[in-house]
Structure 1
Amino acid sequence: GHPPRARPAPAGRPRSGVEDVMDDARRPKSRTGSDRQEPEPAPAHSPRPQGSTGPAGLTRRSLLHGGVLATALAALELAGRSSTVPMRTVSASSPGDRAGVPALPDIQFDIAGYTAPVTTEDGVEVQFGPVHTLFVTARLLRAPTRMDQAKLSGALAAIERAYPFSPAGVFTFVSYGLPYFSRLPGGLHGPLVSAHMPRLTSAAGRYALEEAVAGPTDVGPANPGIVKRRFNVPVSIEDNDLLFTLRSDDAGHIQDVLRWLGGSQVLAGRPQPSPHLEDLLAFTSSRAMFTQIGLPRKLADAESLVYAFMVNPKSPMWMGFADQQVAGSAPAADVTFRASGLTTCGPGDYFDHGAVQHLSHVILDLKQFYDVDDAGVPGDDAAFSERVQYMFRSTPPPSAGNADQITDGGGPAFLPNTFRGTDDAELSARGIGTPEGEHRIGHLSCLQRSSRRADGSPLHLRMDGPGYDSMDVPDGSAQPKLEFTAFVPTAEFFARMRTDQASLDLASRHGVPEDENGLERFLTATRRQNFLTPPRRHRAFPLVELI
Structure 2
Amino acid sequence: MTGNDGSDPPGARTSGMPSRRYLLAGGTLATALASAGIYELVDTLMGAPERPTPPTPPTSPALPPEQYVFPRPRVIMDDGSGVASSKGTMAVAIPPFHAHVITAKLKAPARAKALQEAHRHLEEVLKRLEQQYPPAPSGVTITIAWGLPYFEHYIPRLGKSSSYFDAGTPYPMYLPVDVTTSKELGRTVYALQRSRTFPSDEPPPGFGPVRLEDNDVAVLLRSDSITKILDVTNTLFGTRDGQAGDLFKVTSIRRGFTGGGHTGRQGLASKLATQAGVPGAKFIPRLSPIFLGFTTTLRDAESSTPVSNFETFPGWTDQWPNGYFKQGTIMPLSHLFEDLVAWYSKDFPTFEERIHAMFRPGISFPPNTITADPPEQNEADVLSDIKKFHAYGHNGSMQPVNRLQQELTSNYGHVYPVDTAITNRGDFATLDNPFHYTSDPVGNHYSKQPAPGLHFLLFTPTTEIFNRVRLAMDGVLPGGRSAPFSPRSSGAGLNSVMHTTHRQNFLIPPRSRRSFPLAEFLT
Using a 3 Å threshold, how does the CA distance of structure 1 residues 382 and 276 change in structure 2: closer, same or farther? closer
Among 510, 531, 541, which residue is 2:506 paired with?
531
Using a 3 Å threshold, how does the CA distance of structure 1 residues 228 and 169 change in structure 2: closer, same or farther? same
Among 379, 384, 405, which residue is 1:427 paired with?
384
- Give CA deviations for 1:49-106 in whole Å, capped at 9, x if unaligned: xxxxxxxxxxxxxxx4156x58x8224324444334421237xxx9x78855641100
Q: Greater shift after overlay, 193-202 or 528-537? A: 193-202
Which residue matches 1:482?
A: 454
CA distance in 1, matches of 2:213, 2:308: 24
Using a 3 Å threshold, how does the CA distance of structure 1 residues 520 and 16 change in structure 2: closer, same or farther? same
1:166 is displaced (CA, Å) by 3.0
Which residue matches 1:285?
A: 252
Note if contact 2:278-2:452 (Cα within 8 Å) is conserved in structure 1. no
Which residue matches 1:124?
A: 90
1:493 aligns with 2:465: yes
CA distance in 1, matches of 2:153, 2:486: 47
CA distance in 2, matches of 1:466, 1:543: 34
1:274 aligns with 2:242: yes
Q: What is the SS of the residue equivalent to 1:370? A: helix
CA RMSD of aligned residues (A): 2.8
1:388 aligns with 2:358: no
Using structure 2 for the length normalisation, give the TM-score.
Answer: 0.80
Which residue matches 1:368?
A: 342
Note if contact 1:429-1:440 (Cα within 8 Å) is conserved in structure 2. yes
1:331 aligns with 2:312: no
1:76 aligns with 2:39: yes
Using a 3 Å threshold, how does the CA distance of structure 1 residues 89 and 121 change in structure 2: closer, same or farther? farther
CA distance in 1, matches of 2:278, 2:244: 43
Which residue matches 1:356?
A: 330
Which residue matches 1:182?
A: 152
Note if contact 2:239-2:245 (Cα within 8 Å) is conserved in structure 1. no
Q: What is the SS of the residue equivalent to 1:183? A: helix
Letter in 2 for 1:441: Y
Using a 3 Å threshold, how does the CA distance of structure 1 residues 503 and 168 change in structure 2: closer, same or farther? same
1:443 aligns with 2:394: yes
Which residue matches 2:490?
A: 515
Which residue matches 2:428?
A: 465
Among 114, 117, 129, which residue is 2:72 paired with?
114
CA distance in 1, matches of 2:488, 2:66: 43
1:319 aligns with 2:292: yes
Note if contact 2:310-2:325 (Cα within 8 Å) is conserved in structure 1. yes
Which residue matches 1:16?
A: 18
Is there any run of 5+ residues in structure 1 with no aligned partner, and where? 1-5, 8-12, 27-40, 43-63, 220-226, 266-272, 372-378, 403-410, 432-437
CA distance in 2, matches of 1:162, 1:362: 34
- Give CA deviations for 1:114-156 in whole Å, capped at 9, x if unaligned: 1323433424220112110110001112325211100000011
CA distance in 2, matches of 1:76, 1:510: 39
Letter in 2 for 1:161: Q
Letter in 2 for 1:545: E
Using a 3 Å threshold, how does the CA distance of structure 1 residues 468 and 252 change in structure 2: closer, same or farther? same
Q: What is the SS of the residue equivalent to 1:322? A: coil
Using a 3 Å threshold, how does the CA distance of structure 1 residues 65 and 448 change in structure 2: closer, same or farther? same
1:427 is displaced (CA, Å) by 1.1
CA distance in 2, matches of 1:352, 1:155: 23
Using a 3 Å threshold, how does the CA distance of structure 1 residues 165 and 345 change in structure 2: closer, same or farther? same
CA distance in 2, matches of 1:80, 1:329: 27
Using a 3 Å threshold, how does the CA distance of structure 1 residues 66 and 250 change in structure 2: closer, same or farther? closer
CA distance in 1, matches of 2:374, 2:45: 28
Which residue matches 1:407?
A: none
Letter in 2 for 1:351: F
Which residue matches 2:409?
A: none
Which residue matches 1:228?
A: 204
Note if contact 2:176-2:325 (Cα within 8 Å) is conserved in structure 1. yes
CA distance in 2, matches of 1:444, 1:503: 12
Using a 3 Å threshold, how does the CA distance of structure 1 residues 110 and 364 change in structure 2: closer, same or farther? same
Which residue matches 1:240?
A: 215
CA distance in 1, matches of 2:488, 2:173: 48
1:264 is displaced (CA, Å) by 7.7
- Give CA deviations for 1:169-188 in whole Å, capped at 9, x if unaligned: 11100010000111234359
Which residue matches 1:308?
A: 281
Note if contact 1:423-1:449 (Cα within 8 Å) is conserved in structure 2. no
1:136 aligns with 2:102: yes
Note if contact 1:200-1:344 (Cα within 8 Å) is conserved in structure 2. yes
CA distance in 2, matches of 1:484, 1:444: 15
Letter in 1 for 2:116: R
Using structure 1 for the length normalisation, give the TM-score.
Answer: 0.77
Q: What is the SS of the residue equivalent to 2:287? A: coil
Which residue matches 1:503?
A: 475
1:167 aligns with 2:121: no
Aligned pairs (5 A) from 1:181-220: 181-186=151-156, 191=169, 193-194=171-172, 196-202=174-180, 203=182, 205-219=188-202
Q: What is the SS of the residue equivalent to 1:302? A: helix
- Give CA deviations for 1:221-277 in whole Å, capped at 9, x if unaligned: xxxxxx425x53311110001010111001111112223334486xxxxxxx42354
CA distance in 1, matches of 2:199, 2:446: 22
How high is the sequence identity, in percent, across the aligned residues? 28
Q: What is the SS of the residue equivalent to 2:382? A: helix
Note if contact 2:256-2:430 (Cα within 8 Å) is conserved in structure 1. yes
CA distance in 2, matches of 1:287, 1:346: 34
Q: Greater shift after overlay, 129-138 or 117-126? A: 117-126
Q: What is the SS of the residue equivalent to 2:152? A: helix
Using a 3 Å threshold, how does the CA distance of structure 1 residues 212 and 511 change in structure 2: closer, same or farther? closer
Letter in 2 for 1:22: L
1:89 aligns with 2:52: yes
1:161 is displaced (CA, Å) by 1.2
- Give CA deviations for 1:260-318 in whole Å, capped at 9, x if unaligned: 334486xxxxxxx423541x310101111211121111123323444333211111010
Note if contact 2:201-2:500 (Cα within 8 Å) is conserved in structure 1. yes
CA distance in 2, matches of 1:20, 1:199: 46
Is there any run of 5+ residues in structure 2 with no aligned partner, and where? 6-14, 81-88, 159-164, 262-266, 406-417, 435-443
CA distance in 2, matches of 1:180, 1:114: 32
Letter in 2 for 1:488: T
Which residue matches 1:158?
A: 128
Note if contact 2:487-2:495 (Cα within 8 Å) is conserved in structure 1. no
CA distance in 2, matches of 1:496, 1:66: 39
